[in-house]
């Protein structure tokens, strides 16, 4: 992995996960991906993707609808990396880029959801110890802000569900390909983020 000699002053960590369900107290993370970007120039500094192991019991306790979305099947049980391996890799990457709460924040469609499952890999206590970012921006709130600004400037309000696919449709972007993968989710959320950012800039300049 190549690390820049001069670290940017502001970084964006676009994150996504795939899981066996919606409840981080009952279900398990099965895939993690993120990209670290220089916010100012929109350059991808680092890309990471990992599939995580689950056992047969954890698979059985999962949600069938989740498996329909992410394409996880029985033959994938036991394959992938352990939480310990992934934790070690992610911590090393963050250390290499000097990621901290003072120079970076998370972004995604639902980063709070992703954060709850990331904690299965790297506990919150460890994240606090490492001074990792704990603030986040999500595409749904950004899109709603864009809508409200457009209404304030005279555009008629039209209700749009804040699901990522509906936001994408409203912005003229193709939905995320299925079955979902964490890395595709990262790329799709990043695309929406910058489109919304550009539209907001157009409205205020």
Q: Using one digit for the tens of pLDDT, what is the confidence trace for 57-106?
A: 999 999 999 999 999 999 999 999 999 999 999 999 999 999 999 999 99
Q: What residues make up the domain containing 152?
A: 139-204
| Main-chain phi, psi angles of 24, to 5 degrees | -70, -10
Number of domains in the chain: 2
Pick from 94, 30, 88: which is nearest to 58 by CA?
30
pLDDT digits (tens, 9 = 90+) for 131-149: 999 999 999 999 999 999 9
Answer yes or no: pTM beyond 0.85.
yes
Final residue of a domain: which of 83, 103, 138? 138
179 upstream amide cis, omega within 30 of 0? yes
Q: Are residues 16 and 62 in the same domain?
A: yes
Q: Are residues 38 and 96 in the same domain?
A: yes
Pick from 1, 8, 51: which is nearest to 28 by CA?
51
Integer distance in angstroms from the first to the last C-alpha of the chain?
Answer: 39
Burial class of 137 by CB neighbour count within 10 A (0 to 12, 13 to 18, 19+): middle
């Amino acid at each position: 992995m190549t690390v820049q000699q001069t670290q940017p002053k502001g970084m964006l960590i676009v994150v996504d996960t795939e899981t066996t369900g919606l409840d981080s107290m009952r279900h398990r993370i099965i895939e993690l991906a993120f990209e670290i970007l220089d916010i100012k120039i929109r350059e991808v500094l680092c890309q990471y993707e990992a599939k995580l192991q689950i056992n047969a019991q954890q698979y059985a306790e999962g949600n069938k609808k989740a498996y329909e979305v992410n394409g996880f099947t029985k033959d994938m049980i036991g394959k992938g990396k352990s939480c310990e391996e992934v934790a070690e890799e992610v911590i090393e990457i963050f250390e290499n880029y000097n990621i901290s709460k003072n120079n970076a924040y998370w972004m995604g469609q639902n980063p709070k959801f992703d954060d709850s499952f990331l904690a299965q890999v790297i506990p919150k206590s460890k994240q606090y110890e490492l001074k990792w970012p704990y603030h986040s921006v999500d595409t749904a709130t950004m899109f709603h802000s864009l809508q409200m600004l457009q209404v304030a400037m005279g555009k008629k309000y039209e209700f749009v569900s804040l699901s990522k696919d509906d936001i994408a449709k409203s912005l003229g972007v193709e939905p995320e390909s299925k079955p979902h993968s964490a890395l595709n989710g990262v790329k799709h959320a990043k695309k929406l983020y910058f489109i919304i950012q550009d539209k907001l800039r157009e409205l205020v300049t």
